């Protein structure tokens, strides 16, 4: 089983990356393979960093042979995805949005259908737009037909929609525990839905 985390921040070692590394560590403790991708690296390698909808279905013209294509090839094999983004004006970062727009190239192959997803947002203040950012990431995932995981029960609180962190992340007393809870839920759901993904991917080839 593979869990891929996608860092929507242009900072490789910023607050979002710190929380995502905790997520990956928790998944690894459950026997899951993990990989961390940086959205900015992918979109900056493309000939056109922003999708201009130049073909339907997408022919990958703007990113064939690039780092972004390599990332998408990995993403196609994922059982679970954790999206992480800093809050930019109450929504996701530009790099993450540009990265995800280009995943339209994966839709015809059903590559992300029934992949399980969870979300992490980091804001500059306690009420800094984290929940609206998480909901935006949910919408991005749902458009790919992914299975979105949010809160647990009262004994396992990951945050209603997902993990909402305040920078600096290392001083947020709840964020790491909530991240671990979210990842455990994502992995549990991914394990029981693995046959759905296998059927979808075999059907698309």
pLDDT tens, residue by residue, 1-23: 999 999 999 998 999 999 999 99
**What pLDDT is stored for residue 52 in this prediction?**
79
CA distance 87 to 155: 27
Label residue 158 by pLDDT band (50, 70, 90).
low
Please say whether the beta carbons of 167 and 123 come within 8 A. Answer: yes
**What pLDDT is stored for residue 132 in this prediction?**
95
Burial 108-128 (b: 16+ CB within 10 A, else e): eebbbbbbbbbbbbbbeeeeb
Q: Could you tell me which CATH class the domain 2-203 is placed in? A: alpha beta
CA distance 104 to 114: 15
Residues contacting 49, CB < 8 A, separation 6+: 43, 98
Residues facing 121 on adjacent strands: 85, 164
Label residue 156 by pLDDT band (50, 70, 90).
low
Please say whether the beta carbons of 185 and 3 come within 8 A. Answer: no
**What pLDDT is stored for residue 62 in this prediction?**
85
Length of the chain: 205
**What pLDDT is stored for residue 87 in this prediction?**
95
Residues contacting 114, CB < 8 A, separation 6+: 145, 146, 147, 193, 196, 197, 200
Sequence ranges of the domains in the chain? 2-203
């Amino acid at each position: 089983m593979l869990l891929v985390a996608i860092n929507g921040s242009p900072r490789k070692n910023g607050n979002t990356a710190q929380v995502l590394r905790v997520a990956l560590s928790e998944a690894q403790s459950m026997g899951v393979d993990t990989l961390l991708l940086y959205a900015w690296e992918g979109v900056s390698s493309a000939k056109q960093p922003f999708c201009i909808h130049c073909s339907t279905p997408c022919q990958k013209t703007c990113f064939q042979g690039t780092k972004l294509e390599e990332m998408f090839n990995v993403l196609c094999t994922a059982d679970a995805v954790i999206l992480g983004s800093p809050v930019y004006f109450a929504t996701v970062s530009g790099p993450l949005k540009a990265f995800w727009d280009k995943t339209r190239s994966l839709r015809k192959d059903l590559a992300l259908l029934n992949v399980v997803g969870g979300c992490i947002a980091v804001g500059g203040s306690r009420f800094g737009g984290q929940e609206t950012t998480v909901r935006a990431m949910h919408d991005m995932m749902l458009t790919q037909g992914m299975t979105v995981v949010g809160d647990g029960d009262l004994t396992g609180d990951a945050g209603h929609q997902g993990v909402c962190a305040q920078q600096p992340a290392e001083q947020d007393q709840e964020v790491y525990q909530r991240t671990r809870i979210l990842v455990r839920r994502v992995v549990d759901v991914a394990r029981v839905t693995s046959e759905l993904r296998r059927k979808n991917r075999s059907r698309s080839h």
